[in-house]
Chain A
Amino acid sequence: MSFQFYRNSIFFALFFCSACESNSNKRAADVEDLDKVIAEDKKAAPPAPTRNALTATEFIALFGCKDLPCVQLFMKDRSSDFVHAKKGEFASQHRSVVQDTTGAELVMPLSTLYVSVDPGADWRMVHTLHTKALSDQLLKEFDKAKFLVTDSTRKNGNAGPVYQYRSVLYPGLVLLFKKTFSPWRARGLYYKVTWPCYVFELKEGE
């Protein structure tokens, strides 16, 4: 045993207790306890947003509202997932990366919900999704509610045709689906849209 070893040992023994009293190190967890720590931590945390968009059934139920207070009440129950941004304009709480047409990555909510609040306007309700995956998911849900394509039209400004869906389960309800860069004609939360928006619009049909 060298002299250095004893010197180090004495130094270590003398000061170990006092110097290791770092507050942060005292709060360190053992790796074996990590599962327990994570579970406890999750229990204490406020509920995090769990989804990015409304489901088809929710969207159809929401369309039953005929004024803004009703929509606000409906969305209040889902306030851990959605935030009321402006009058008649909601966005999902969770934000993530959306790629625009130039390949730039934008961090933003993955969906918005707009309802028209103008007294003169037709009652319109639009759910805009910002990624194809979410759009496919919602289309699948509408498909389960027996919504079938009945017509398609083309309009300037859209990146594709506007599809019209109807369902025997919901007579008098028309779903318009389109991929576009102008989801809510010069209004809404985003004025300059450079990413493809997947727009689901519910309307009353004849």
Chain B
Amino acid sequence: MFRYSLYMLVLLLLAGGFLFVRKMIDRRIEKNTGTEIVRENEEYLGSWASKSDSGFVMFRLHRDGKLTYRFVHYPANDTTTIQGSYAFVDVAGGNDPQYFPRLYTFAANGDTIFNYYVRYLTKYDMTIDKIDKMILSPGGVLDTMEYTFYRIRK
């Protein structure tokens, strides 16, 4: 019995050790390359972009809670950059399924850039989709209006 417990402990230590080392490496690489390495349950991190006839929007959700928001409003070609912060509120953020999960983004002066319901977010272990998507709705779950953003390489 004791032997099996020991095996179990070794297995746990191995798994824990692997995760710990992986996390350490991830953070180091993030620091060196200036990107986010996305793992399970943090699929919202990283750079997202969307394009339409009226403009181009790109935002990066940094791991440390910072936000870089860039947009171009056609026909002008000037890029406006806003630095700020964001908050991703998961289902645990509230009991009302109509309004959570949500993504709040704020400019540095405290103005809210957007406060959208996260309708869809590609899962980490998804194998069907080739591209990661984040679909945001301006209203709650009832609103069928949606904006699709795609994960981009940074």
Q: How far apart sit A82 and B124, CA to CA, in the bound complex (Å)?
A: 34
Inter-chain contact A37/B131, CB cutoff 8 Å: yes
B50 to chain A, nearest CB (A): 8
Which size class do A's interface residues fall under?
A: 20 to 34
Q: Quick check: is B12 within 8 A (CB to CB) of the other chain? A: no
Inter-chain contact B46/A41, CB cutoff 8 Å: no
| Complex partner residue of A22 from B39, B58, B126, B144, CB under 8 angstroms | B39
Q: Determine the chain B residues whose CB is within 8 A of the CB of A28 once the complex forms.
A: 46-47, 131-132, 151-153
Considering only CB atoms and an 8 Å cut-off, how many residues of chain B contact the other chain? Answer: 38
A165 to chain B, nearest CB (A): 32
Q: How far apart sit A153 and B73, CA to CA, in the bound complex (Å)?
A: 48
Inter-chain contact A94/B144, CB cutoff 8 Å: yes
| Complex partner residue of A25 from B46, B143, B148, CB under 8 angstroms | B46
Which of A10-18, A67-75, A114-122 faces chain B?
Answer: A10-18
Chain A, residue nearest B36 (CB): A25
Q: How far apart sit A2 and B124, CA to CA, in the bound complex (Å)?
A: 38
CB interface residues, A 1-56, toward B, < 8 Å: 8, 11-12, 15-16, 18-20, 22-25, 27-31, 34-35, 37-38, 41, 49
CB interface residues, B 20-58, toward A, < 8 Å: 22, 25-26, 28-29, 32, 35, 37-39, 43, 46-47, 49-51, 58
A114 to chain B, nearest CB (A): 21
Inter-chain contact B139/A23, CB cutoff 8 Å: no
Q: Determine the chain B residues whose CB is within 8 A of the CB of A57 once the complex forms.
A: none
Q: Quick check: is B150 within 8 A (CB to CB) of the other chain? A: yes
Q: Quick check: is A186 within 8 A (CB to CB) of the other chain? A: no
Inter-chain contact B150/A95, CB cutoff 8 Å: no
Question: Given known contacts A95-B144, A107-B140, is B25 in contact with A19 (CB within 8 Å)?
Answer: yes
Chain A, residue nearest B26 (CB): A19
B37 to chain A, nearest CB (A): 5
Inter-chain contact B28/A25, CB cutoff 8 Å: no
Q: Determine the chain B residues whose CB is within 8 A of the CB of A96 once the complex forms.
A: 139, 143-145
Which A residues form the contact surface with B (CB < 8 A)? 8, 11-12, 15-16, 18-20, 22-25, 27-31, 34-35, 37-38, 41, 49, 93-97, 107-108
Task: Please name 16 further chain A to chain B contacts, defined as beta carbons within 8 Å, in addition to the given A18-B25, A19-B29, A38-B150, sorted by A numbering.
Answer: A11-B25, A12-B28, A19-B22, A22-B37, A27-B129, A27-B151, A28-B46, A28-B151, A28-B153, A31-B58, A34-B50, A34-B51, A38-B51, A95-B144, A97-B139, A107-B139
